[in-house]
């Protein structure tokens, strides 16, 4: 079985903005046709990413749905195969984060974080995995973890639990899928400046302000030392670009830190 197919098609979820958008653009630069998946409310942003990829001379398709719903993930894979003839890379990047102290955490909030960040990854592994096995030409599955997948974070117990869950999913799926030349890995960013971390209007950052002020506030809020630097979405995209290359075929089941030294486990 060939690890790297002739036709190269990548799906990136949560690709309307932030890290997912950077991954979609980078994989397009590297020759992939791209499916940009995000929530229906992100139509305008998704269309802008589609145009940016087409401007690079690659094919792009926007697909709308919720990664936590099985029917939507099934339809995402179906539309990808219909449009581009196959699926070689699945990047289960979509995730949500809402800071809440454990003492105030509601069941609804806990369940919604687990639904998107953990169940959404399970569904991506299952349905992208089935498609890749059926194609018989291997594949690559990447998952957004976090430093919070390795270490608890202040006011992020539900988020951290959901990201720890991705590691169990990734490790088990990597063992089950390696016989098919499918690798499964996750990237674990530290602080990366995206709309997720730069809430411009909420109480965390005290309203709109300079990036430097926001970074300082995030550090204070998340209990991070102030000398921890923030990374860029493009830096995370560079790691993903490596992991989908043929030369990364021996890397599987890993949760790879990309965090400027925030943590080293
Ligand atoms: P972001 O909020 O900027 O972008 C996430 C995208 O996912 C959004 O476009 C959103 O609409 C989409 N999305 C959310 N729920 C969805 C759902 N149910 N179905 C489909 N799409 C959905 O976030 P980001 O900072 O780019 O983060 C991307 C991933 O990286 C997330 O999984 C996040 O947890 C993880 N991460 C981010 C950081 C960071 O510092 N930014 C650090 C560690 C991990």
* CATH, domain range 9-190+231-258: 3.40.50.720
Tell me the chain's radius of gyration from C-alpha atoms. 18
Residue 77: C-alpha distances to residues 38, 62, 212 (Å): 13, 12, 40
For the chain, the farthest-separated pair of C-alpha atoms sits apart, in whole angstroms, at 54
For 203-236, write each residue's pLDDT tens digit: 444 444 556 656 666 676 666 776 777 889 999 9
pLDDT for the residue numbered 161: 98
Which residues belong to the active site? 159, 163
Q: Which of 242, 234, 219 is nearest to 18 (CA)?
A: 234
Question: Phi and psi at residue 229, in whole multiples of 5°?
Answer: -85, 155
Query: How many angstroms does the Cα of residue 245 sit away from the middle of ligand 1?
Result: 23
Question: Phi and psi at residue 66, in whole multiples of 5°?
Answer: -115, 120
Q: Does residue 62 have its Cβ closer than 6 Å to ligand 1?
A: no
Distance CA 91, CA 140 (A): 8
Reading the block at residue 106, the tokens are 């509601």
User: Which protein residue's CA is at the shortest distance from atom 17 of ligand 1?
Assistant: 66
Query: Could you tell me the pLDDT band of residue 8, with boundaries at 50, 70 and 90?
Result: very high
Mean pLDDT of the region 81-99: 96
Residue with tokens 């959901």: 162
Q: Does residue 14 have its Cβ closer than 6 Å to ligand 1?
A: yes
Distance CA 128, CA 191 (A): 28
Q: Does residue 39 have its Cβ closer than 6 Å to ligand 1?
A: yes
Comparing 75-84, 121-130, 253-262, the range with the smallest average pLDDT is 253-262
ipTM of the complex: 0.99
Q: Which of 58, 64, 60, 19 is nearest to 37 (CA)?
A: 64
Q: The whole model's pTM is what?
A: 0.93
Mutate to test the pocket of ligand 1, among 16, 17, 19, 156 (most ligand atoms within 8 A of CB): 19
Query: How many angstroms does the Cα of residue 78 sit away from the middle of ligand 1?
Result: 23
Residue with tokens 């560079």: 238
Q: Does residue 259 have its Cβ closer than 6 Å to ligand 1?
A: no
pLDDT for the residue numbered 208: 45
Query: How many angstroms does the Cα of residue 92 sit away from the middle of ligand 1?
Result: 10
Mutate to test the pocket of ligand 1, among 169, 194, 215, 229 (most ligand atoms within 8 A of CB): 194
Query: How many angstroms does the Cα of residue 2 sit away from the middle of ligand 1?
Result: 32
Domain ranges of the chain: 9-190+231-258, 193-229
Contact of 189 with 259, CB cutoff 8 Å: yes
């Amino acid at each position: 079985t060939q690890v790297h197919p002739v036709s190269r098609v990548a799906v990136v979820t949560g690709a309307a903005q932030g890290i997912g958008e950077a991954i979609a653009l980078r994989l397009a630069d590297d020759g992939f046709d791209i499916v940009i998946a995000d929530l229906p409310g992100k139509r305008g942003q998704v269309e802008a990413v589609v145009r940016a990829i087409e401007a690079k001379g690659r094919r792009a398709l926007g697909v709308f749905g919720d990664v936590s719903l099985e029917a939507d993930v099934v339809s995402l894979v179906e539309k990808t195969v219909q449009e581009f003839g196959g699926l070689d890379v699945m990047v289960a990047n979509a995730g949500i984060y809402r800071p809440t102290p454990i003492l105030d955490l509601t069941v609804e909030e806990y369940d919604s974080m687990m639904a998107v960040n953990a169940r959404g990854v399970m569904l991506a592994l299952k349905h992208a995995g089935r498609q890749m096995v059926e194609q018989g030409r291997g594949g690559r599955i990447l998952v957004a973890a976090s430093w919070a997948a390795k270490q608890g974070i202040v006011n992020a117990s539900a988020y951290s639990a959901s990201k720890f869950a991705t590691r169990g999913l990734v490790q088990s799926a990597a063992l089950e899928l390696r016989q098919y030349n499918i690798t499964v890995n996750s990237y674990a960013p530290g602080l990366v400046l995206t709309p997720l971390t730069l809430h411009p209007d909420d109480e965390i950052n005290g309203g709109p302000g300079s990036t430097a002020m926001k970074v300082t506030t995030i550090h204070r809020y998340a209990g991070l030392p102030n000398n921890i630097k923030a990374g860029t979405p493009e830096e995370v995209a560079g790691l993903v670009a490596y992991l989908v290359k043929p030369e990364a075929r021996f890397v599987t089941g890993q949760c790879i830190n990309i965090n400027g030294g925030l943590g080293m486990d």
